[in-house]
Structure 1
């Protein structure tokens, strides 16, 4: 049986994972009205190599996610075809000149590609037109739709001569996106593995960090473990390695802030990092004191976030509304902030006023899988994005379903302009004990992010990490 594996101690991903995904999509399409399965074909184009500006150097290649979902192919510039009625798959690979082997290695034969990826047939890309002329399809289903997170559109497959055939660019997208939402047993094991490797790497970072080390030193420890031990060549996103006031910047680590601050005694660190294996993502965040010991203020905020996280992990299960989980997390966090003296008044009134959005200006979490913000959050036939200001950043608003996999990331942040707004608006400031609130102006933020699988009667957390104050201090001391 063919498989993907990066080394003898890394996870084995069987090619049956992708074959089963193809069968799942074909089955759903056959049950859908509006197409003739016998003469309908799915046509996808894989990712292409992207050059660094105008040079002959390329960025590290990452396969296009929908193509990865159906074919699991490592190589760029491929096409994939799926016959809806039979489920027969055909992979199309580039026809390369012999000289290619000098620079990039021996050319594989079509039979080798067929064995490697367990497709029914392999042809060359330049045979696409001839293939469809022989097949006489009623329609080619290509992929075009808008990603609700990025607001960018997927680009439908094209090849010279495609104009001769009837194309439907809209039918496929919501169906294949929905197929990706509920994970198969084989996908779950890949996700479990990449979360395990990421968790181990986070612990290595916690034990490594100390005052005086730069944020990127911690990042390098994470990257080394994920690759050297886990075989994870890629991360799922740019690592966020924030300390001190930088922890209030939600997407710190970007080009203008490249994880380069020197940590200081008394800082909190917020490290949001996730490895990627065979295209599947982890997304885990740990918050910890760089010196290994929490101050009383750090304990206060951390425990408020931890209580919110615990409440969600207790209640999340099949049939529960994700919007209700966001509300629950925020209610619990505000209740703890009130109990500690930062807030006053009725917590339900605080929620109605949108005060929670001052402390957590983003949604509770998101679907997770082949993309770190995975598809299926807002597609045709699913609930629309809430309009309330403190809910509009939710990346999905669905009822949870067994087999969904998602990131849960409650947080409490002290962001300067949001603090200014809270103190300036009477509707919000009435709930603040302003003097104590202002004491945290340079505190930064705390986030706890886990990766959970929804089951019929609860959830399973794949992020295996120290989470209580006592556990973190013990691990960092050890």
Structure 2
């Protein structure tokens, strides 16, 4: 039997919905890579969060009326298909192993949906890939259109489930935090291995493959997102994924990579010199970024407004860039005009959970910045980027992108840096890169 955590989540969700509600969860369908070769399947996070069911093509309905019920629609057992592509839970398995009250072949979905729609006044939809976008209105109107003209009419309000569900996903439970910890632990091992292997003339793809191999040794079958292994000027492309260039002596390397465990992500970035020794200029930029990260982590605690983290990082980095002469004017002028954005480019964090950029609002219902709560997990990731074509900047700084990213858990009294075990200071990085074991 799948852990009853999913049943508990369904109950908690329904407690926030009005009576006579129906929740429609559309699972993902498997995508074709080429001909009969399919991409590795991964279930929609919202679907998995409420069902624990990881097979493709599934649909779920959760009903709140006089009683509540969970209906799961899935691929039936098929011996030939299972020999070729793996075991299926089937109808019996859905009930015995996934706590479904009722289970049906997915081919019978529309018939059962229209039956269950009778008496429903609120339809909450979660369909991230718009699998049923052309059908939802007609389903909502079905009973109103099919009844005789003098019968009471049923008007169904169509609502987005995300408005309610994503609030649930924002604050993590102990089980969720433990999954993130496991992903971070595997990533820690992998980042250290890559640091030890990094050297001039190695290719970015080799380091990417080493990271994947190392997280597998750490018990993780997936990475949470495509690895970014960016040497030199490549690091000035925020989501560089080509990973095809040879590392050169004198360059910096930026690696943004994180393992995934049981659907929960880590997201960690480290930057370091390809040859294992920081130059004075690399140290200067690196230390500014690290100072910004450390100062932001220091202020994290329940009640802090979300935007305070970004504002803190930007103020520290603007001050450092001014001291180096890369920004001019008073710090007040720099902050007011936001001239620092030329080199800082992006904001400095996001929620972390099942999605790398996890769901949940950054503002409250009044439009104010969200206040942090114990159990929230997010990244803090300041960065400074000086591309090769910044010809008004001294040449020693050009072609350098430095980002440092840690995963942070808000606790009752402050916070915990979950990824602090991955070397972050200049001395720590140089020491581990002097080691040769891989």
Q: What's the TM-score, normalizing by structure 2?
A: 0.87
| 1:235-254 equivalent positions in 2, closer than 5 A | 235-253=223-241
Give the corresponding residue for 1:70.
50
Give the corresponding residue for 2:360.
376
Give the corresponding residue for 1:17.
5
Give the corresponding residue for 2:335.
351
Distance 1:118-1:206 versus aligned 2 partners, 3 A rule: farther
- Residue 56 (str. 1) matches residue 13 (str. 2): no
Question: What SS is found at the alignment partner of 2:199?
Answer: coil
- Residue 402 (str. 1) matches residue 374 (str. 2): yes
Q: What is the CA-CA distance between 1:213 and the residue it aligns to? A: 0.2
Question: What SS is found at the alignment partner of 1:41?
Answer: strand
RMSD over aligned CA atoms reads 2.7
> Does the 8 Å contact 2:374/2:412 carry over to 1?
yes
Distance 1:154-1:294 versus aligned 2 partners, 3 A rule: farther
> Does the 8 Å contact 1:144/1:173 carry over to 2?
yes
> Does the 8 Å contact 2:233/2:387 carry over to 1?
no
Give the corresponding residue for 1:475.
432
Give the corresponding residue for 2:149.
none
Distance 1:122-1:159 versus aligned 2 partners, 3 A rule: farther
- Determine the C-alpha separation between the residues in 1 that align with 2:132 and 2:292: 39
User: Which runs of structure 1 show a deviation greater than 4 angstroms over 4 or more consecutive aligned residues?
Assistant: 152-161
Distance 1:345-1:180 versus aligned 2 partners, 3 A rule: same
- Residue 316 (str. 1) matches residue 300 (str. 2): yes
Give the corresponding residue for 1:462.
418
Corresponding residue to 1:204 among 183, 193, 200 = 193
**Number of equivalent positions:** 420
> Does the 8 Å contact 1:286/1:447 carry over to 2?
yes
CA deviation vs aligned residue, 1:157-185 (integer Å, no higher than 9, x gap): 96998453565432423111222111122
Corresponding residue to 2:401 among 434, 445, 449 = 445
Give the corresponding residue for 1:391.
none
Give the corresponding residue for 1:423.
none
Question: What SS is found at the alignment partner of 1:452?
Answer: strand
Q: What is the CA-CA distance between 1:108 and the residue it aligns to? A: 3.7
- Determine the C-alpha separation between the residues in 2 that align with 1:104 and 1:456: 46
Q: What is the CA-CA distance between 1:441 and the residue it aligns to? A: 5.2
Question: What SS is found at the alignment partner of 1:178?
Answer: helix
| 1:278-317 equivalent positions in 2, closer than 5 A | 278-317=262-301
> Does the 8 Å contact 2:387/2:399 carry over to 1?
no
Give the corresponding residue for 2:112.
130
- Determine the C-alpha separation between the residues in 2 that align with 1:319 and 1:380: 13
Q: What is the CA-CA distance between 1:476 and the residue it aligns to? A: 1.4
> Does the 8 Å contact 2:26/2:127 carry over to 1?
no
CA deviation vs aligned residue, 1:223-242 (integer Å, no higher than 9, x gap): 1111243232x222211100
Q: What is the CA-CA distance between 1:281 and the residue it aligns to? A: 1.3
Distance 1:476-1:139 versus aligned 2 partners, 3 A rule: same
- Determine the C-alpha separation between the residues in 1 that align with 2:134 and 2:54: 18
> Does the 8 Å contact 1:402/1:454 carry over to 2?
yes
Q: What is the CA-CA distance between 1:383 and the residue it aligns to? A: 3.0
Deviates more, 1:312-321 or 1:302-311: 312-321
> Does the 8 Å contact 2:277/2:430 carry over to 1?
yes
Q: What is the CA-CA distance between 1:207 and the residue it aligns to? A: 0.8
Distance 1:96-1:371 versus aligned 2 partners, 3 A rule: same
Give the corresponding residue for 1:424.
none
- Determine the C-alpha separation between the residues in 1 that align with 2:363 and 2:305: 16
> Does the 8 Å contact 1:41/1:137 carry over to 2?
no
Corresponding residue to 1:275 among 259, 264, 267 = 259
Question: What SS is found at the alignment partner of 2:230?
Answer: strand
> Does the 8 Å contact 2:265/2:356 carry over to 1?
yes
Question: What SS is found at the alignment partner of 2:15?
Answer: helix
| 1:404-443 equivalent positions in 2, closer than 5 A | 404-415=376-387, 419=390, 437-440=393-396, 442-443=398-399
Give the corresponding residue for 1:363.
347
List runs of 5+ in structure 2 lacking aligned partners: 144-154
